Each structure stands twice: as C-alpha cells, then as structure tokens.
C-alpha cells in the first residue's frame, strides 16, 4: 500500500481545449445562466479581441498562438465573482509572459513554490495522522479529527480566487489525452512539466458539487462497510452449519477470500464454496432477505431462502426486542446506492467540458489510457487461448470439473521450504526493532543491485517508523523532506509477514525518493498512476527470501506464481468489463430506477460471463462477476486492478531481462509522471499491453507441464 495525500489540486489530470467559437458560446451561456453576470459574454468577447490585438502588437507574431490559447483558457474559467471587464483586462495585461525570459521566471517560480506548498501540506497531514498511523498508544477522538483533516482541501478554490490559477491558464496550454498521447513523445521534458502544471488548474468544480460527491461516496461506503454475513447461521437442508461460530464475513472481500481458503478444506471445502456462491448470488440479485444482513440472530438457508430465529447463539449481544423475522428481500438498496454515486458524479460533468462524464474523467484524466484501448487489452486476456489451457490444469489439480466460483481458484500457491515459525525467528533475530531495519537498508539495497554510494544516499532519504497497522509507505512531496517507511514491530521483534510487507513498502519508498529527487522537474514528480508504484514495490517484495540470505524461489515456484497472477487477471478483467458496461448503461439511462439498474446489471454480468467464461466453465448465465463491492462505492475503480497486473508483468520482465534490479529501478523511476505509455516505452521499449503477461504465462505452462 502506498499512502499519498490526495487533494483535488494535486490529482487532477485534465484536458480542456477550446477550439470552436460554438463551444465558447455554449460555455459562456452556461455560466451566465448560473449566476447573474456583471461581465456579459459580448463584453468579454470584445475584451478578448482588444487584448489579443494589444498583446500581439507588444510581443509580436511569434506569440500569436500563445495569446489566443491563454485568453481562451482564462475566459473559460472566469466567473462573475472574479471581476468585471476592467479587472479581466488588467489581469491579462499584468500577467501574460510575452517573452521567453519572463516565461522561464514564471515557470521556475510556480515550480518551486508549488513544491513548497505540496511538501508542507503533506508534512502537516502526515503529522496530523501520526497518532493514528504509528504505534504511539491510545487514539483519542480528537486524534481522529486531526487525522481526517485535509489542510489542502481549499487550495484550489483559493488559487482561483487569488488568480494564481488564472496566471497559469493564461500562460500554459491545457491538453487533451489525445494530444498527450500523440504529441507527448515529441515534447521536451520542460513541455511535459508545463503540461502537468496547467493540468492542476484544468477544472473548477464548485465546492457544493465536490461536497455532494463526497456525501454520496461516504453513504455508499457506509452501506458496504456494514454488509456482513454471519456464517455460522447459514444452514443447509439438513440444518447443518458448515462455518464456525462468530465468523462474520464482509461482502465481497471476506466471502471471496473464504472461497479461496476453502480449497484447503478436504472435507467440507466444496460444500462451503457452493454455499458462498449462493449467498453472493442472492446479494447480486437482491433476493437476499433483508433481515439476514449483519444479523447473528437468524438462521438462513440461502438455497430455499428460509429464515428462522437463530437456533444457536454466537451473537455479541442479545437480539433486539423488536426483531421481525421475515423473508422480505433487501429492497434493491445495492442498486439505489450505485445510482446515488452516479447521480452525484454527474453533477461535475458541466464543469469538465472535454471530459464531460465520469467515464471519460476516469480513463482520460486519471488513468490516461483511452477506454477503447484498455477494453481491448482486457479482452485480449479474456479471450486468450491460454485460458482453456490454464483451466484444464486447474481441473486436473482439483480432480473435478470447474465450478463458477473457481474464478477464485487459489491452489497455484506453492509451499515454502521453511515453516512460518522458522522464518519468524530468523527475521526477529535480525530485526528486533525498527531501528535495526533502518540500519540495514543500505545493505538490503546493495543486495538488490544498487551501487554502494547510491544505496547509502537513497537510504538516507528513508525514515523508519513503527506502525500501528500492517505498514505502509508515505513518500515526501518536497525534496527537503524524507520518505517514511511504516512497519509493524511485535514485542518479540519483526516477524516474517512484517518483513515481507516492509520490503514491499521499501520498494515504494525507493520509488518515491528517486521520482522526487532524481527527476529533472519536480512538477513531474511521481509515476503515471498507482499501478506503476505498486508494480515497482512488487519487484522488491519478490526478493524477500533472497534478502534474508535464503534461496530465491525456484523456477517451478515462479511458474506457479505466474499462473496464479494470470488466473487472477482473467477473473478481474471480467469484473472490470462489467463495471465499465454498467456505468455506460447508467449514462444512457439517467432516469433509471434501482429496479431497472438491477435488471440491467444482471444482464450485463450474464453477457460478459457467457462471452468469456461460459465456454470455459460449461455453465451459462452466471452473475458472479457483479459481486464486487467496489462497483457500488468506488466510481469505476475496478479497471485499475487488471491493468495493474499487466503493468507489473511488463516491469518484472524488463528487470529479469537485465538481471539487476538497482540500476533498472533507478532508470525507470526518474522518468516521472508522464503518460503510462510513454513511461513504459522508456522503461521497456513497448507501450502498456498484455503481451508480457501472456508470454510469461505460456512459459509457466511449459514449466508446469515439464514437471511430472
Ligand atoms: Zn503497495
């Protein structure tokens, strides 16, 4: 996991390009409808013509395209409260940088001061979270308030109000994703830095719209967070209970992970998995009785849907006196929640002219991979001829035909030569404290192939803190700050699980350090998106045994890991396609009822299943792909998972090819935040794609078949 402060100002990646007069007029008409305008569209147009002529006379023909673009961009975001015609004209005259030296000064100043702003805001946020994040004793209610406070929440509004945002918009062009993809490869690094600078101010979403989106997000989060099933109260036709008392599983994560764990249960595994599939289908179809959700006081047969008072008691408290036991289904709340997030997201559409839907904002701005391309990559995996081959291998390992829940097959995980206890002891001896781990970082980095002096200087940028939770990495946002590695230390010292996570987080910290300190422009700090930093962290994590001085995983172990990842990508690619299709359906049916959305989601889930899974599983019309909770509360987040797998494979393959992690890692990480394709071209010679995963899978299948 990687912790990064998120605020609208710093994560916005946007595109905006006004080319036609028609669009200008439409936008001006929009803003004048919203608030009575002291500066009318006609006045503004007159002003623009006048200013354009004035600036042209002053700075010459060479500045003509910049003048035109700058004026249009300022005009587009200017609201009545920003000032009248005179204020608009004065602002433009005073802030247009019409020659290269003034533009350089402006660029340098913004780059330096925004680094300071980001860095210090992040520093405050990190300090405010310390009591919650670190192993520092009780968390008081006020600690939670400090932790939830975002000091940068209003920065974007402030920057429009004091017009610094307009200064950027007047001088640096906004771009579309198409331009960044097609022209970006020819840009200089400085042009890329200017592009990212402009993008920070590419949207001006009113505070009340952001608030409405946050409210919908938090309401659906709460709905999902309380959606637990009490497993001991699932009964079959013979009133048998398959699951132990007090087992309370959150949908869908814990339910899915229980299916994965049940492969190890020789006796009841299959029956448990079938029952969980039935529970999931009841949730998706909303035929689940309302009374069984988060309720240990009733017994439920998910096949017949019978509900009875609990015959066994494992509840933490007595049943409420007014508990009514009926089979009345959950009233489509799942889809009502999803509709609420859609309707809230849509409120931002008018303020995002060239990415006027959430779908476009997700793909063109956040991921910077066009939707059609991403969809094609997912379908390439889903329809790969390797799928039936891996499926056959799973069937032979299971000794039975595949069942729908085998999309979560977990049996490719190889055993270890060492027991967990042996590993724990080794790690605890080596790292009795967080400080011991910190001191060893230069040594660990040298083992990973970093040159001695580089290992020392990178390690000097990393502070190790004892974490309250399992651990995370928190990078710095300015060069004078350090990255923080948060790791869990038990009283007996670090254990193996903690070490494995610490190595992953250290991968994040090294990426964070290099992509901030070694990148040529701090405006390009970071990586294209989260999938990239996760992929780099996994490269480190995969070396954990070698770092302990134990034998690195053999080829057979590596092959099984690859097959596990391939099967996981196949599954989540199907899930992502459902998420994407459902969002398109909502945009096509803005007035839909929850009931209609439910029906549409079921159709979409069945359709994707029938196309990509039914031929493999021999069963049609399965709805399981729609079970993910992210679909309800995460605003089209799911495509990030399969794309993350593809990116991880590309990076791992590249590192394997060169044989040394350190120098490759340094070379890749300092490319900074350009588009995913450009980053990947630089790193591996190819754009983002599925080939690395597919060829690794093909190789892994050969390895597995070669072994008797
Ligand atoms: Zn991570």
pLDDT in tens, 622-632: 999 999 999 99
Percentage of the chain exceeding pLDDT 70: 94
The confidence band for 490, taking pLDDT boundaries of 50, 70 and 90, is confident
Cα of 18 from ligand 1 centre, angstroms: 38
pLDDT, residue 29, reads 40
pLDDT, residue 45, reads 87
**Higher model confidence: residue 467 or residue 305?**
305
Cα of 569 from ligand 1 centre, angstroms: 18
**Higher model confidence: residue 249 or residue 490?**
249
Peptide bond between residue 568 and the one before it cis (omega within 30 degrees of 0) = no
Query: Chain-centre distance of CA 377, in angstroms?
Result: 18
Q: How far is the C-alpha of 315 from the C-alpha of 535, rounded, in Å?
A: 42
Listed in sequence order, the DSSP H helices in 333-404 are 333-346, 358-360, 371-382, 386-398
Q: How far is the C-alpha of 392 from the C-alpha of 595, rounded, in Å?
A: 38
Cα of 500 from ligand 1 centre, angstroms: 11
- pLDDT above 90 for 106: yes
Cα of 533 from ligand 1 centre, angstroms: 7
What pTM does this model have?
0.86
The pLDDT tens digits of the residues spanning 324-377 come to: 999 999 999 999 999 999 999 999 999 887 789 999 999 999 999 999 999 999
The whole-chain average pLDDT of the chain stands at 91
Identify whether the C-beta of residue 649 lies closer than 8 Å to the C-beta of residue 388.
Answer: no
Q: How far is the C-alpha of 572 from the C-alpha of 220, rounded, in Å?
A: 22
pLDDT, residue 74, reads 95
Identify whether the C-beta of residue 170 lies closer than 8 Å to the C-beta of residue 70.
Answer: yes
- pLDDT above 70 for 3: no
Identify whether the C-beta of residue 654 lies closer than 8 Å to the C-beta of residue 540.
Answer: no
Q: How far is the C-alpha of 32 from the C-alpha of 95, rounded, in Å?
A: 25
- pLDDT above 80 for 547: yes
If residue 561 lies in a helix (H) or strand (E), which one and from where to where?
A: helix 555-588
CB within 8 Å of 368: residues ≥ 6 apart: 13, 177, 180, 181, 528, 529, 675, 676
The pLDDT tens digits of the residues spanning 34-66 come to: 444 467 878 888 999 999 999 999 999 999 999
The confidence band for 28, taking pLDDT boundaries of 50, 70 and 90, is very low
Strands 2-3 and 471-474: parallel
Residues with CB under 5 A from ligand 1 (ion): 1-2, 534, 537
pLDDT, residue 211, reads 87
- pLDDT above 60 for 20: no
Cα of 529 from ligand 1 centre, angstroms: 12
Of 144-158, 560-574, 579-593, minimum mean pLDDT range: 144-158
* Residue 638: half-sphere exposure toward Cβ, Cα within 13 Å: 26
Q: How far is the C-alpha of 594 from the C-alpha of 605, rounded, in Å?
A: 16
Cα of 127 from ligand 1 centre, angstroms: 21
Give the residue-averaged pLDDT of 303-332: 94
pLDDT, residue 438, reads 96
Cα of 651 from ligand 1 centre, angstroms: 15
Q: 440: how many CB neighbours lie within 10 A of its CB? A: 16
pLDDT, residue 44, reads 86
pLDDT, residue 289, reads 98
Cα of 308 from ligand 1 centre, angstroms: 44
Strands 228-230 and 462-466: unpaired
Cα of 501 from ligand 1 centre, angstroms: 9
Q: How far is the C-alpha of 351 from the C-alpha of 698, rounded, in Å?
A: 47
Phi then psi dihedrals of residue 172, to 5 deg: -130, 135
Cα of 541 from ligand 1 centre, angstroms: 10
- pLDDT above 50 for 31: no
Identify whether the C-beta of residue 310 lies closer than 8 Å to the C-beta of residue 298.
Answer: yes
Helix pair 41-59, 64-77: axis angle to 10 deg: 150
Residue in 231, 339, 264 with CA at minimum distance from that of residue 586: 339
The pLDDT tens digits of the residues spanning 395-411 come to: 999 999 999 999 999 99
Cα of 299 from ligand 1 centre, angstroms: 39
Q: How far from 274 is each of 250, 259, 288, 401, 597, CA to CA, in Å?
A: 17, 9, 16, 14, 27
Cα of 9 from ligand 1 centre, angstroms: 23
Cα of 513 from ligand 1 centre, angstroms: 15
Cα of 537 from ligand 1 centre, angstroms: 6
pLDDT, residue 528, reads 95
**Higher model confidence: residue 414 or residue 481?**
481
- pLDDT above 90 for 12: no
pLDDT, residue 17, reads 25
Cα of 2 from ligand 1 centre, angstroms: 5
Cα of 638 from ligand 1 centre, angstroms: 17
């Amino acid at each position: 996991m990687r912790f990064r402060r998120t605020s609208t100002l710093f994560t916005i990646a946007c595109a905006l390009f006004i080319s036609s007069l028609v669009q200008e007029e439409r936008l001006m008409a929009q803003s004048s409808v919203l608030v009575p305008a002291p500066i009318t569209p006609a006045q503004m147009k007159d002003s623009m013509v006048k200013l354009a002529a004035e600036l042209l006379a002053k700075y010459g023909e060479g500045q003509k395209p910049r003048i035109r673009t700058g004026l249009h961009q300022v005009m587009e975001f200017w609201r009545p409260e920003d000032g009248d015609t005179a204020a608009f004209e004065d602002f433009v005259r005073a802030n247009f940088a019409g020659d290269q030296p003034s533009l350089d000064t402006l660029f340098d100043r913004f780059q330096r001061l925004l680094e300071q702003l980001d860095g210090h805001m992040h520093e405050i946020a990190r300090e405010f979270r310390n009591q919650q994040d670190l192993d520092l004793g009780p968390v008081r209610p006020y600690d939670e308030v400090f932790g939830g406070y975002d000091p940068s929440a209003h920065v974007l509004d402030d920057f429009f109000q004091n017009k610094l945002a307009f200064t950027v918009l007047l001088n640096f062009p906004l771009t579309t994703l198409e331009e960044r993809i097609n022209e970006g490869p020819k840009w200089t690094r400085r042009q890329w830095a200017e592009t990212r600078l402009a993008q920070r101010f590419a949207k001006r979403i009113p505070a009340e719209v952001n608030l409405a989106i946050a409210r919908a997000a938090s309401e659906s989060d709460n709905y999902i967070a309380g959606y637990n099933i009490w497993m001991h109260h699932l009964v079959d036709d013979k009133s048998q209970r398959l699951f132990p008392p007090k087992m309370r599983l959150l949908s869908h994560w814990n339910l899915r992970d229980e299916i994965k764990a049940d492969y190890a249960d020789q006796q009841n595994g299959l029956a448990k998995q079938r029952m969980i599939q039935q529970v999931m289908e009841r949730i998706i179809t909303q035929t689940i009785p309302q009374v069984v959700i988060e309720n240990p006081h009733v017994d439920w047969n998910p096949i017949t849907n019978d509900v009875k008072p609990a015959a066994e008691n494992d509840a933490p408290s007595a049943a409420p006196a007014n508990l009514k036991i009926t089979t009345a289904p959950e009233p489509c709340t799942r889809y009502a929640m999803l509709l609420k997030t859609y309707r809230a997201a849509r409120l931002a559409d008018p303020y995002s002219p060239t990415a006027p839907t959430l779908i476009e904002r997700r793909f063109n701005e956040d991921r910077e991979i066009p939707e059609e391309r991403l969809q094609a990559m997912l379908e390439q995996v889903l329809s790969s001829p390797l799928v039936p081959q891996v499926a056959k291998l799973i069937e032979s390992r299971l000794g039975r035909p595949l069942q729908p829940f085998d999309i979560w097959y977990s049996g490719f995980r190889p055993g270890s030569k060492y027991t967990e206890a042996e590993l724990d002891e080794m790690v605890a001896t080596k790292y009795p404290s967080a400080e011991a781990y910190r001191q060893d970082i230069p040594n660990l980095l040298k083992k990973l192939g970093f040159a001695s002096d580089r290992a020392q200087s990178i390690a000097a940028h990393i502070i190790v803190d004892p974490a309250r939770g399992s651990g995370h990495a928190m990078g710095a946002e300015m060069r004078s700050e350090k990255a923080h590695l948060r790791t869990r230390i038990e009283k007996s010292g670090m254990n193996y699980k903690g070490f494995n996570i610490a190595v992953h987080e250290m991968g994040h910290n090294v990426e964070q350090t290099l992509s901030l300190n070694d990148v040529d422009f701090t405006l390009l700090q970071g990586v294209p998106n989260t999938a990239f930093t996760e992929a780099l962290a996994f490269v480190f994590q995969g070396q954990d045994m070698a770092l302990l001085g134990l034998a690195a995983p053999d080829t057979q172990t590596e092959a099984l890991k690859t097959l596990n990842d391939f099967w996981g990508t196949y599954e989540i690619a199907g899930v992502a396609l459902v998420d994407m299709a459902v969002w398109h359906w909502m945009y096509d049916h803005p007035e839909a009822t929850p009931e209609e959305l439910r029906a549409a989601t079921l159709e979409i889930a069945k359709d994707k299943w029938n196309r990509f899974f039914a031929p493999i599983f021999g069963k049609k019309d399965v709805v399981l792909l729609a079970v993910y909770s992210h679909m309800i509360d995460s605003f089209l987040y799911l495509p990030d998972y399969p794309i993350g797998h593809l990116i991880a494979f590309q990076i791992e393959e590249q590192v394997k090819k060169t044989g040394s992690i350190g120098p490759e890692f340094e070379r890749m990480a300092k490319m900074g935040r350009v588009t995913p394709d450009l980053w990947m071209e630089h790193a591996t010679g190819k754009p983002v794609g599925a080939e690395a995963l597919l060829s690794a899978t093909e190789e892994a299948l050969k390895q597995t078949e070669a072994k008797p």
